[in-house]
Every structure is written in C-alpha cells, then in structure tokens.
Amino acid sequence: MASESILVINAGSSSIKFTLFDVEAGEVSLHYDGRIQPDTISFDLFLQPSVGIDKEYGGQVEGIGTAPKFKAKDRDNELVYEETWDAGERSSGHQVALEKLMNWLDDHLGDTTLIGVGHRVVHGGTEYAAPTIVNDAVLQQLGDYTVLAPLHQPNCLAGIRAMLAMRPDLPQVACFDTAFHRNHPLVADQFALPYELYEEGVRRYGFHGLSYAYIAHTLPTIAPELADGRVVVAHLGSGASMCAIKGGQSMDSTMGFTALDGLPMGTRCGNLDPGAVLYMLQEKGMDAKQIEDVLYRRSGLLGLSGISNDMRDLEHNPDPRAAQAIDYFIYRITRELGALAAAIGGIDALVFTAGIGENSDMIRARVCRAAAWLGIELDEAANSQRAQRISTASSKVAVYVIPTDEEKMIALDTLRLLRP
C-alpha cells in the first residue's frame, strides 16, 4: 500500500523551515527536513529517509546575500541535490522558494501521497483554539490578526497563500502558537485596562503554544504520574517564555499580548513597566518604529550585555556585562518560576526545553539552585551529562530536559484533523 506523508512549513521573516513526516498507524516520523531562505532565495534540503523523530535536524541556512541555491543532503550530510537559479526571481521570495521545494518533493515522493501541509501560524486571535483547514475566509480572518503580531503573522500567511495558489486541492492546515493557551482562566487572560480594550482583543494570548503542547503530549510518556500534575515548562531559546500547565492544560504563561512580555530574550526586553515606553515616547521623542526597534531588536541579552544576543557568546565572555546579562536572565526565570508555581498551587515538575534549556547545563544548574526553596534538588552529574531527568531521586520536584519538536506537533495536529 502506498504510504502517506505530511509536509510541515514554518515560515519566518527571513527563512522557511520545512519538514516532511511519514504517516504510519496514526503516528508521524521524520522523512525530510531543511530550511529555505526566501530573502536570498537559498535553501538547503536534508534527505533523511525514515529516520527516528529524535534525530537532530540537519537543516541549515546558507548563502545569505549570495546567489539563489537549493541543496539536498543525505543523513550523513552528503550532498545529493543542488540547484541554483536566477537571482531575478528574488522579488517573490516565499512563492519561489515553495515552488522549488514542491517541485523537488514531486520528484522524490515516489509512491508516497502528500495528504496535507501543516503551517505554523503565530496568532489565532480569540477565535482559533484548534488546528484549522484554511480557505479564503479563514485566510482573511487570520490576516485581521496581523495587527496583533505585525512582525510574524504576514510571513506565516504568505506561506499558506503561496501553497493554496500552487496546490488548491491540497489541505492547508493552520496550527497556532496561541491555541494551547486559549482555555487559560480569565484572570490569566486579562490586563487591568478598560474592559473595551479586552473586548477588542487586548488580551494575554501567550505564545510558544506548539512547543508547550508538544511537551504536554510527551511528558506523560516519560513520567506517567505527571499527566495530571502541576508542571512549569521553561522554553528558553532565542525567544523565551514559561508556561504553567495543570493536567495537561495551559493555566498561565509569561508571554501576554505580544511575544515581548515575560522573560528577557535574545533581543526582546521581556517584562517592562509600560511607563518606560511612555518615557521613550514623550521625553525622548522617539516614534513608534524606533521604540519597536528598541523593544524587539536591541534589548534582552543583547541590550543588557552590549555584546551578543547568543547565550553561547555570553557564557564564555569575561566582560562583566556578559555576566550581568546572564544574572538578569536567571533572576527573571527564577522569579517567574515562583509566580507560575503560585498560579497553579504548587509544582510537581519543571521542564527545560529549546536551545538554551536543552543545551546549557550552566543555566539549568543556576535556575535549579536558585529554586531550591521550591523543593528542587539538582543532580549535578545528571545535569552535566544532559540526562533526561536531572533532579535527584529525593527531589520534591522532578526536573526534566525534553527537546521540543514544534514541527512534529504540527504534523500530529494536521494528521488528527485530516485523519480523525
């Protein structure tokens, strides 16, 4: 019998990441993955026939600012396909990049039938609490949410629009970063602003929902006793947030109306007194674009250190400001950990995930030591060996490191919708 597959597309401002999953008995496993760089129309494709889902992604971005290039590599990183084309096609970035991908896939799918495409969409507004098949009406409504996520939403929708135009009969499924948080309680949804603003959508949406949904889906397979437990997940990557989960449901998140709130990030400020924005506006005479630039691109680890937005650079830099930036990062995580534990009446487990959470034993150790008062007891050896469980057997709170897989979550959501 011919097999089936699902393509996952994660379109960002300067890159499109794609992953092809095989569908087998209601599960999905990684088939191909890679990234497209539409701004430069360059993408690499890594061919990984039926590798396990735990395998690390082989995709990478290459050729920024150079001639358009498509490359396919096998699981051993050997080049199996390469294509370059005229840089004149640059103007229609997403469209051209996706055409190249689809043409290549058509030649390589063989007997496999592509049953649908799952797209990461950053904002589902108040309406979308579950994956949704996109038609013109849905696309239009999602476009209305661009005002809520101006930096991200247009890119997500550009990918869907291009796919709908190219393959009108292929189901395009939107999976939302806000959806996992849509059922959190009203007190976690509101700001103490005039109620009319709440009604028009000024709410605490929370983001990184696909990552949290994946952890909520995976944790009970590792620790079944935590299925109904109180869990705080720290998604610490270039974007960073934390989520309080109870019984598998999001109860609160550090991110609110936009992906700026909460923890300091690579270049985003995190929690801020709104009076600081008024100060920039009224006293410094900055306009909205300049303030946006400060809040999104010049703050966080970069703003604090003046050195880099990358934790790896800071960890090894002797400059005292690098250390101060890390101190601030740890301090805010520790504060939010206490607050989120309070929001769900205690904590049974803490999970670290994403680039920093999965890879920096130093950050994990410092957070756990600072949270000893909560009953966290770190197993230092397990932590430095990057074990899955890094707390001692006697720790009151279990601590795990679980690699996130947003693409797999999108594939599973897409599969559930198309093959209920």
Active site (catalytic) residues: 177
Residue 3: Cβ within 10 Å count: 14
Output the smallest distance, CB 383 to ligand AMP, in A.
13
Binding mask 259-278 for ligand AMP (x = CB under 6 A): -------x------------
Number of residues that bind ligand AMP (CB under 6 A): 12
Output the smallest distance, CB 310 to ligand AMP, in A.
4
Residue type, 75: R
Binding mask 347-366 for ligand AMP (x = CB under 6 A): -------xxx--xx------
Q: Which two tokens stand for residue 402?
A: 């679980």
Give the start-end residues of each E strand in 216-341.
Answer: 230-236, 240-246, 249-253
Q: Which is nearer to ligand AMP, 131 or 237 (CB)?
A: 237
Output the smallest distance, CB 238 to ligand AMP, in A.
4
CA dist 258 → 10, 90, 370 (Å): 19, 30, 28
Handedness of CA 159, 162, 166, 167 (dihedral sign): positive
Output the smallest distance, CB 169 to ligand AMP, in A.
34
Question: Where does this chain touch ligand AMP (CB under 6 A) — which range of 4-12, 306-314, 326-334, 338-346?
Answer: 306-314
Question: Where does this chain touch ligand AMP (CB under 6 A) — which range of 1-9, 33-41, 128-136, 311-319?
Answer: 311-319
Q: Which is nearer to ligand AMP, 43 or 128 (CB)?
A: 43
Q: Which is nearer to ligand AMP, 116 or 355 (CB)?
A: 355
Q: Which two tokens stand for residue 182?
A: 């849509």
- If DSSP codes are grouped into helix, strand and coil, which group holds residue 129? coil
Nearest to 177, CA basis, from 247, 253, 95: 253
Binding mask 88-107 for ligand AMP (x = CB under 6 A): --------------------
Q: Which residue is nearest to ligand AMP (CB)?
A: 355
Torsion, Cα 273 203 270 64, to 10 degrees, reads: -140
Residue type, 245: I
Residue 179 is classified by DSSP as G
Residue 118: Cβ within 10 Å count: 30
Q: Which two tokens stand for residue 56?
A: 């690390």
Output the smallest distance, CB 99 to ligand AMP, in A.
27
Q: 25: buried, middle or exposed (CB in 10 Å: 19+, 13-18, 0-12)?
A: exposed
State the DSSP H helix or E strand holding residue 45, giving kind and residue range, or none if neither: strand 42-47
Q: Which residue has the tokens 């991200």?
A: 152
By CB under 6 A, residue 310 contacts ligand AMP: yes
Binding mask 223-262 for ligand AMP (x = CB under 6 A): --------------xx------------------------
Q: Which of 312, 321, 386, 416 binds ligand AMP (CB under 6 A)?
A: 312
- Which parts of 313-332 interact with ligand AMP (CB under 6 A)? 315
- Which parts of 150-189 interact with ligand AMP (CB under 6 A)? none
Question: Where does this chain touch ligand AMP (CB under 6 A) — which range of 35-43, 243-251, 271-279, 305-313?
Answer: 305-313
- Which parts of 371-400 interact with ligand AMP (CB under 6 A)? none
Our CA angle for 306, 307, 309, nearest 5°, is 100
**Angstrom distance (rounded) from CA 265 to CA 86:** 37
Q: Which residue has the tokens 């924005």?
A: 277
Q: Which is nearer to ligand AMP, 42 or 241 (CB)?
A: 241
* Binding residues vs ligand AMP (CB under 6 A): 237-238, 266, 310-312, 315, 354-356, 359-360
